[in-house]
Amino acid sequence: MSFSFTLHHTDAHSRARRSTFSTPHGDVQLPTFMPVGTQAAVKGLTAEQVRSTGAQMILGNTYHLALRPGETIVRELGGLHRFMGWDGPILTDSGGFQLFSLAQNTKVTEDAAVFRSHIDGRLLTLSPERAIEIQEALGSDVAMVLDHVIALPASAETIRDACDRTIRWAARCRQAGRRTDQAQFAIIQGGLDPEMRVWCARQLAELDFPGYAVGGLSVGEKPEEMYAVLDVVCPAMPVDKPRYLMGVGTPQDLLQAIHRGIDMFDCVMPTRNGRNALAFTDEGPLRLRNQIHQRDERPIEVGCPCLACRHSRAYLRHLFLADEMLGPILLTHHNLTYYQRIVSGAREAIEADRFAQYFEAKMAGWQRPAVS
């Protein structure tokens, strides 16, 4: 099966889009949020539990899977879908973000990036061709091109150099691709420079990738700075391709980006916070270790279909204080379900030209004083 993108409707009062991205492992209704399964697992949940949150597509990481267990083993065992027991679409990141997060252990040249493994210290060379080779062995539905991520703030010269390299590497990734059942997404860089972002987007659009991502954000800049970048870069991205904002973010970030025309998201925030006893709700975050919940018989949210909301806040608090592994599992399931409820509600609101009202109602709830 080939890939296709169908834009069904754009909200009458915003740039929010309702669309479908079709892949060999099924259709993805957009906007969507992809749970992060860096090492072929969404931490704490089985594939069936991830699916029960409403997730349609998940994310894995090229760098981590190449180190352990190795892409050859994954390929021999039937590919990433079979290996982890997930039959829906999978997107794999290229490892480009590790150029940023592991900068002290990375040397970047025009040919490739050389990493020192965080596991055993051995060297790993990641060129654009190697990044695609690994992802083709993994068998993901979407392979991200290798890009050059830099820390912000940065000089104009540094930003331009990273942009130029990102575009050259994207062309090499395109040339290296062999699988017809895997789509490559290019990644737009440019720091916080509006002109550089638009220029990079237009250069990559000429290479005609099946999808486009905005990278290099959520790396320490203020939310308002990220939104300003999206204001200018989204109109420069192809209308007839999926738009993916990488590594973002809070519930507020999701709706702000959807408002500006973004279709796809991933972030560790719901799972990481779930493991640390923080639950996302329409009334703001709940910190379930706090004593105020000691005798609270209410669920986290009335009407939420997640596994955690079958129990009381008091019981969930007890699990965390007793160091029972069930606590992080249940809160992870709740937070991922909550994120899916956000994007599902956005899809319905866009279809009805009510996204502006949906956006305002959600923002008003999240801006109330945080619940203890």
How many CB atoms within 10 Å of residue 60?
26
Return d(Cα 232, Cα 253) in angstroms, integer. 16
Residue 102, pLDDT score: 64
Residues across the chain = 372
Q: What is the pLDDT of residue 100?
A: 63
Give which of 136, 97, 98 is closest to 115, Cα–Cα. 98
- C-alpha 111/C-alpha 88 separation (Å) is 34
Q: How far apart are CA 319 and CA 330, in angstroms?
A: 10
Task: State whether residue 299 is helix, strand or coil.
Answer: coil
The 10s digit of each residue's pLDDT in 204-260 is: 999 999 999 999 998 888 999 999 999 999 999 999 999 999 999 999 999 999 999
State the pLDDT at residue 369: 64
Question: How far apart (Å, rounded) are the C-alpha atoms in residues 71 and 236?
Answer: 35
Q: Please answer whether residues 170 and 206 qualify as being in contact, where contact means their C-beta atoms are separated by less than 8 angstroms.
A: no
Instruction: Note if 266 is an active site residue.
Output: yes
- CA-based nearest residue to 330, from 267, 265, 282, 286: 286
Q: Which one is catalytic: 11, 93, 193, 263?
A: 93
Q: Residue 164: is it exposed, middle or buried by C-beta count within 10 angstroms (0-12/13-18/19+)? A: middle
| Strand 26-30, strand 264-266: pairing | unpaired
3-class SS shares of the chain: helix, strand, coil, % to 5: 40, 20, 40
Residue 87 annotated to the active site = no
Question: pLDDT digits over 188-198, tens only?
Answer: 999 999 999 99
Catalytic residue among 147, 193, 253, 266: 266
Looking at residue 277, its pLDDT comes to 98
Q: Which residues contact 120 (CB under 8 A, 6 or more apart)?
A: none
- 146: nearest Cα among 72, 215, 83, 94: 94
Within 8 A by CB and 6+ apart from 247, the residues are 97, 215, 217, 218, 266, 267
Give yes or no for a cis peptide into 249 (omega within 30° of 0): yes
Q: Which residue has the tokens 């068998």?
A: 139
Please state, in angstroms and as integers, the Cα–Cα distance from residue 161 to each residue in 105, 165, 168, 196, following that order.
Answer: 20, 6, 11, 11
> What tens-digit pLDDT sequence spans the chain (372 residues)?
589 999 999 999 999 999 999 999 999 999 999 999 999 999 999 999 999 999 999 999 998 999 999 999 999 999 999 999 999 999 999 887 766 666 567 788 899 988 787 778 788 789 999 999 999 999 999 999 999 988 888 899 999 999 999 999 999 999 999 999 999 999 999 999 999 999 999 999 999 999 999 999 988 889 999 999 999 999 999 999 999 999 999 999 999 999 999 999 999 999 999 999 999 999 999 999 999 999 999 999 999 999 999 999 999 999 999 999 999 999 999 999 999 999 999 999 999 999 999 999 999 999 976 555
**Do the Cβ atoms of 263 and 244 come closer than 8 Å?**
yes
How far is 349 from 78, CA to CA, in rounded Å? 39
pLDDT at 218: 83
Structural domains present in the chain = 4-267 (3.20.20.105), 277-366 (no CATH)
What pLDDT score was predicted for residue 371?
55
Report the alpha-carbon distance of residue 278 to residue 186 in Å, rounded: 34
Listing DSSP states for 174-213 in one string gives HHH---TT-EEEEEE--TT-HHHHHHHHHHHHTT--SEEE
Provide CB contacts within 8 A for 31, sequence distance 6+. 16, 17, 18, 254, 258, 262, 263, 264, 265, 343, 346, 347, 350
Of 263, 363, 340, nearest to 17 (Cα)?
A: 263
CA count, 13 A, side-chain hemisphere, 352: 11
